[in-house]
């Protein structure tokens, strides 16, 4: 909980609204306890996606204010933040994201505690 608090304190989290209609998180949902969830700020400046297990997801970046969007993975196990390769991205169209891979391109989807949960943080930049 301390790490979650540290993550959210850096943002205007009270502006977040759940993506109930899946207009932002458009693919890679999962089901039941494995369901990925997303929230966007009402002013479209911020979005956060929680993945209970690692997988590829697809997001509609047009749902953010832009014109560019920075994307970072947050490891809830140790609080380490890592920039998504290629970030920032144009705030246009759909983009797939998956947790970090190791240097030789193989998936290394486990977090510091050996689990698969991750948080993706996206911020609109002018």
Distance CA 21, CA 66 (A): 21
Per-residue pLDDT of the chain (126 residues; tens, 9 = 90+): 678 788 888 888 889 999 999 999 999 999 999 999 999 999 999 999 999 999 999 999 999 998 999 999 999 989 999 999 999 999 999 999 998 655 444 456 788 888 889 999 999 998
List the CATH number of the domain containing 51.
Answer: 2.60.40
Distance CA 30, CA 43 (A): 27
DSSP string, the chain: -HHHHHHHHTTTGGGEEE-TT-SSEEE----GGG--EEEEETTSSEEEEEESS---EEEEGGGS--SEEEEEEE-TTT--EEEPTT-SEESSSEEEE---B-TTS-B----TTS---EEEEEEEE-
Which residues span the domain enclosing 61?
Answer: 2-125
- Residues 39 and 21 sit within 8 Å (Cβ to Cβ): no
Number of domains in the chain: 1
pLDDT for the residue numbered 124: 96
């Amino acid at each position: 909980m301390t790490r979650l608090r540290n993550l959210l304190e850096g943002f205007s989290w009270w502006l977040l609204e759940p993506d109930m209609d899946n207009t932002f998180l458009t693919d890679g949902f999962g089901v039941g306890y494995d369901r990925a969830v997303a929230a966007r700020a009402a002013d479209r400046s911020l979005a956060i996606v929680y993945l209970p297990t690692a997988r590829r997801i697809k997001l509609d970046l047009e749902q953010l204010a832009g014109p560019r969007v920075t994307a970072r993975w947050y490891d809830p196990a140790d609080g380490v933040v890592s920039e998504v390769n290629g970030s920032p991205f144009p705030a246009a169209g759909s983009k797939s994201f998956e947790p970090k891979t190791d240097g030789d391109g193989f998936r290394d989807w486990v977090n510091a505690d050996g689990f698969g949960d991750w948080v993706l943080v996206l911020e609109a930049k002018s």
